[in-house]
Amino acid sequence: MKIINTIDSLRYELKLKREQKSLVSLVPTMGFLHDGHISLMKKAKEETDTLVVSIFVNPIQFGPNEDLDRYPRDLEGDVKKCLENGVDILFIPNISEIYPKNFQTVISVKEVSKGLCGDSRVGHFDGVATVVCKLFMMVLPDIAFFGKKDYQQLLLIEKMVEDLNIPIKVKGCEIVRELDGLAMSSRNRNLTPKGREIAPNLQKFMKMGVQLYSNGENRASIIISTIKKELENLDFKIDYLEIRDKNLKIVENLSQGDIMFAAVFLDNVRLIDNLEIF
Q: Show which residues are catalytic.
A: 37
Q: Looking at 1-9, 46-54, 169-177, 202-210, which segment touches ligand AMP (CB under 6 A)?
A: 169-177
Of 175, 206, 227, 231, which lies in the binding site for ligand AMP, with binding defined by CB under 6 A?
A: 175
Beta partners for residue 27, in sequence order: 53
Nearer to ligand AMP, 4 or 40 (CB): 40
With a CB cutoff of 8 Å and minimum separation 6, the contacts of 50 are 14, 17, 22, 23, 24, 25, 88, 89
Nearer to ligand AMP, 41 or 254 (CB): 41
Binding mask 17-56 for ligand AMP (x = CB under 6 A): ------------xx-----xx-xx----------------
Distance of alpha carbon 136 from alpha carbon 94, whole angstroms? 17
Nearer to ligand AMP, 124 or 244 (CB): 124
Answer yes or no: are the C-beta atoms of 145 and 157 closer than 8 Å.
no
When asked if residue 146 is in the footprint of ligand AMP (CB under 6 A), the reply is yes
Distance of alpha carbon 75 from alpha carbon 5, whole angstroms? 13
**Which residues in 61-120 contact ligand AMP (CB under 6 A)?**
none
Counted residue by residue, the chain has a size of: 278
Distance of alpha carbon 16 from alpha carbon 186, whole angstroms? 33
Binding mask 182-201 for ligand AMP (x = CB under 6 A): -xxxx---------------
Residue number with the shortest CB distance to ligand AMP? 147
When asked if residue 127 is in the footprint of ligand AMP (CB under 6 A), the reply is no
Q: Where are the alpha helices (DSSP H) in the chain?
A: 7-19, 35-47, 75-84, 95-98, 117-120, 124-139, 151-163, 193-198, 201-214, 220-233
Nearer to ligand AMP, 26 or 220 (CB): 26
When asked if residue 149 is in the footprint of ligand AMP (CB under 6 A), the reply is yes
Q: State the nearest-atom distance from the C-beta of 225 to ligand AMP, in Å.
A: 27
Q: State the nearest-atom distance from the C-beta of 271 to ligand AMP, in Å.
A: 11
Distance of alpha carbon 147 from alpha carbon 156, whole angstroms? 12
Distance of alpha carbon 224 from alpha carbon 252, whole angstroms? 10
Residues within the interface to ligand AMP (CB under 6 A)? 29-30, 36-37, 39-40, 146-147, 149-150, 173, 175-176, 183-186
